[in-house]
Structure formats: structure tokens, C-alpha cells
Chain A
Amino acid sequence: MSTSTQTVAGTTEQVPKERKRQLSEGARAERRLGWMLCAPAVIVMIAVTAYPVGYAIYLSLERYNLELPQDIKFVGLSNYAAVLGSPYWWSALKVTVIITVFSVAITLVLGMVLAQIMHRTLFGRGTVRTAALIPYGIVTVAAAYGWQYAWTPSQGYLSALFHDSAPLTSQGTAIAVIVLAEIWKTTPFMGLLLLAGLSLVPEDLQKAAMVDGATAWQRFTKITLPLMKPAILVALLFRTLDSFRIFDSIFILTAGNNGTGSVSILGYDNLFNALNLGIGSAISILIFICVAIIAFLFIKGFGTAAPGSNVGR
């Protein structure tokens, strides 16, 4: 995949260079049109993300409580010190990391199984894909209510199955239910991304290896996995960042009680229960930094090709 896109990208890149010298007027018009077409989207994206993040950095340096609007004062980094010195932040970060690691790891394995089933199945392909898309598309909040009721003692079928257990009332089991809900919802998406990667593995290579006597497992680990590495890493990057932002299902399942709050829940609670804009903004910036670190590790550490890095060059 990468070689073919690179050659395509290479040839398209050379053409305009020659053209630019000959048709500089046309090239200039093309450039202007490109900018004009992109401008509205760029303006909206900057206005809604970059500007508020800048504003959040500013707010995070102030003492600003909505209950005390007269008492706004520049306090430097003390909001960050307050957050980083608080056990709530570290507990939320730990919960978020646990949920992310478990749900992404299990989703990757199950997604690979699902991709194999969708790729190889001989009949009922459309039905399987349609069924798999339903968890992907379903409103997270609606699904979370389903899980909550299913695990409520003397009311839910899953609770009844496990002798009327009440897993949502203690930390470990509640996190397990949250992870389960996350896995159910996101495995189809992972499966579809991996399916696209799987379809790029040439069938001839598999057949050649089969002729050479490679077992199914050897073919999977020596041919399929290495060829799918770029697709897997991109899927992992997106799933990890998505999981790290987890909010909806925790909000419904436990509302962050019993030590199950993620960093997003902490940020929300801080704004709407403590009404503290300064601390809330500091939390926002810290979460933003965490996400940036994860993305950086994936792109530099694992050599994930930044998705879009070879788009339309």
C-alpha cells in the first residue's frame, strides 16, 4: 500500500512543479481558488477549537469561580498545582488509563477476529456487516442505559445470570462493566478498519505460503500481521484517543461514583458542580496535553504514519 501511494504521490508532485514555471498565472489562480475553498472550513475549525484552547490557557491562570464573579485574579500556575496535587486528578487519570488499555487491547483482538469473519465468511456477508454496524451507530447514551438496567439486581438479565450481582456498586466490577460497554460499542469500528487493511493483503501471498507448508497461524503472524501493521497502528491510535475521552457511558452507568470517574467526568464535574472555571480550564489543558503525548508516542514511537500524511500530495 505504502509503495503504491508513494509513487502516485511522487508523480503528481513533479507535474505541478514543471507546470508552475510555464503557467505561473494559472498556478496562481489555482492556488487562490484552493485557499478560498478551504478558508470557511479553516475559519470554523480555528474559531471552535484553537481560540477556546487559547482562552482556556488564559482562564487556567486565573482564580475564577462563577459563584464569586467579583473575585477574578491572576494566580499564575497555582490552578495547575492544585489539580496536580489533588488525589482526584490522579485517581481519574488512573481510571481513564485502565479503561483505555483494557478496552483498546480487547477491542483489537476481537476486532481482528471480527475482521477475519467478515473477510472470509462465505455467505451472509451483508447481514453480518449490518448487524455489526448497529453497535457502532447506536447512541452511546441509549446503549449505556441498556447496560445499566441489564446489570441492575432483580431487574436485569445479566445481573440475574450472575446470581443477582450488583457490579455497578463497587469500583473494580463497575470499571469492568464500563469496559464491556466500550468494547461492545467499538469492536465493529475496529473490525471495519482492520477489514480494510486485511483486504490489502494479497491473496497470492497467502496461497504461496500455504503451498510452502505454512500453518494458518504462521500465515497470520508472518504475512497478515506485518502487512496490516499500518492499518492496525492507525486504528489503535484513533481508538486509544477515543477511549481516553470516555464520558457518555460513565456518566450514565455510574456518574463517576465509586471511583469510576474518568478525566472527562472530572472536568465536567468541576465546571458544573464546583463552578470553578480556573480549575476546570487547568484540567482541560492537562487532558489536552495527555492526548498530545499519546498521539506523539504513537506517531514517533511506533512509527504510525500520521493518517493523512500522504493524502493528495
Chain B
Amino acid sequence: MATVTTTGRQKSGWGTANTIVIALALIPVLWMVSLSFKTPPAILDPSLLPKQWTWGNYTGILSTSQFIRPLVNSIGIGLISTLIAVVLASMSAYAVARLQFPGKSVLIGMALLIAMFPAISLVTPMFNIERSLGLFNTWPGLIIPYVAFGLPLGIYTLSAFFREIPWELEKAAKIDGATPFQAFVKVIAPLAAPGMVTTSILVFLACWNEFLFAISFTSTLASRTAPASLAYFSGSSQFTVPTGPIAAAAVVITIPIIVFVVFFQRRIVAGLTSGAVKG
């Protein structure tokens, strides 16, 4: 029963539990990867691993604007939305974490309301507004709602991070003769950077993942994002069943997520939990 010493049985018990968690998390992903490497006839073979590997599905989708253009749209719209949302959110989060002003709880309440907001409720009215403003099927038509939905996430996560910063250091730097600008650039900015990076990752992932607005407010390749493009896939040629190409495209849009998760696991965990629980 003692928890201090590790018995062999405990070790193997945790080992089994860990293995089960990892397997359950990864098998569905590996299935997509396997499908994406199967040849068209082998798609109709339910085995978990392809018997014959092919890059055909990847070369197919990467040689058509049907997928490349949405990929460019996704990256562009995601980066611009993230940049705007994080800049605006960090201004608000700084105010929430450091300043006293009436209306602060209104701001927090509003951010909370929007975090809980049913996106579908916006689709019908926004569709009509975007049509009349000429925003329908344009990048700004998606960037604007993405910024709005990225803001609550950004404000929560960043204000949790900003509250942990030892702001007295700023004063100390000023006493030591630093200008306010130097104090900000040399002392505060490096302390705030990890929180900003984490928040940017979370906001970018949310934009990258978004589907409902992406299929509702776009109609052509001009602004359709990668997740939305999957729903309109017809395959690399019109005679092939698009299962393989869709699987390959799904793997391609999953790669950035895996990269983020592998390199920033600690930060993502810290960001997700700080905003939600301490908030």
C-alpha cells in the first residue's frame, strides 16, 4: 500500500494504464494515416495496415488547387486571426490583470458569454450581414468571427498568465535607471512571451479546427479553408473514390497539430488549465 516505494507490480500497472491511454488516443489517427497510404483497390480492405504502400494519394491532392488553395487560405486566415486576437486580448488581459477600473467584471462576463455562445445562432444573421457588406466568401468574412471567438480564449488564458508575472521587476528596472520602454522590452516582454506563445497556439488551433463558419461563409476556393474543402472533395481525378485523398488531406491538416502538441505539450497543458480552472 505504501506509495513511497515503487513496487514492480505498481510499475507494470501504471505501464499498462499508460499503454492503454496512448493506444486509445493514437489508433484512430494511425488508421487515417494507414488509409492515406493505401492504393485505391486496397481501400476496400479493412486491414489496419496497408499491404502495399503508396504516396499516390498525397501527390494527387498536393497537385490540385482543390486542396492547395484551401490550405493556403487556412494558414493565412488562421495566422491573421491569431495575430489580431492575441494583440487585442493581451491589451484587455493586461487591463484585467493589472488595472482597477469599473466594468472589469462586465468584460469578463461578456468574454464568458461568448465562450459559451452557440456558433450556429450566428450563422443565419451573419450570412445575411456578410452578403450585404460584400464580406461573404472573403478572408475578412472568416477572420472577423474567428477573432471574436478567439478573444475570450485569449483574454482568459493571458490574464491568468499576466497575473503570475512579478510586475515589481518593472519598477525595480525603472529605479535602476531604465526608461519605461526599456523596462517593458527588457524585463516584462520576456516574462510575458511564454504566455503569449501558448495563447497564440491555442487560438490558432481553434481557427485551424473551425468548420461551421468555414462552410457557411465561403462558397469557392477563394476563401474556403482546408477542413471545409474536405467536404467538397471529389478526388484527384473524377473517376476515383475520394476516400484515399480525403484521408491524405486529413493527415496533412493534422500534421501541424501533432508538431504543436509534441513541441509545446507542457505549455498547451498549462494554458488550457490556467484559463479554465483558476479563472
Contacts and interface: CB of A to CB of B under 8 A. Distances in A.
A45 interface: yes
B253 A129 contact: no
Contacts, number: 324
Interface stretch (B52-60, B93-101, B171-179): B93-101
B151 to A, nearest CB: 5
Given A31-B101, A145-B230, A155-B43, A37 B92 contact: yes
Contacts of A188: 25
Nearest to B251: A142
B37 to A, nearest CB: 13
A142 B163 contact: no
A34 B261 contact: no
- Of the four ranges (under 10, 10 to 19, 20 to 34, 35 or more), the interface on chain B belongs to 35 or more
B97 A312 contact: yes
A282 to B, nearest CB: 9
A103 interface: no
Contacts of A128: 18, 21-22
A84 interface: no
A244 to B, nearest CB: 7
A134 B251 CA distance: 12
Interface string B82-107: 00000011011011110111111101
Contact of B211 (A27, A197, A247): A247
Contact of A307 (B17, B112, B118, B148): B112
Contact of B243 (A137, A149, A184): A149
Given A142-B230, A235-B276, A281 B125 contact: yes
A184 B22 contact: no
B91 to A, nearest CB: 4
Majority DSSP secondary structure for residues of B touching A: helix
Contact of B272 (A41, A192, A290): A192
A127 B269 contact: no
Interface residues of A, number: 104
Contacts of B44: 154-155
Contacts of B35: 146, 149
Given A30-B101, A234-B276, A307-B279, A268 B120 contact: yes
A145 B252 CA distance: 13
A176 interface: no
A291 B118 contact: yes
B108 A141 contact: no
A48 B144 contact: yes
A193 B277 contact: yes
A309 B25 CA distance: 34
A142 B91 contact: no
A94 interface: no
Given A114-B21, A268-B212, A34 B99 contact: yes
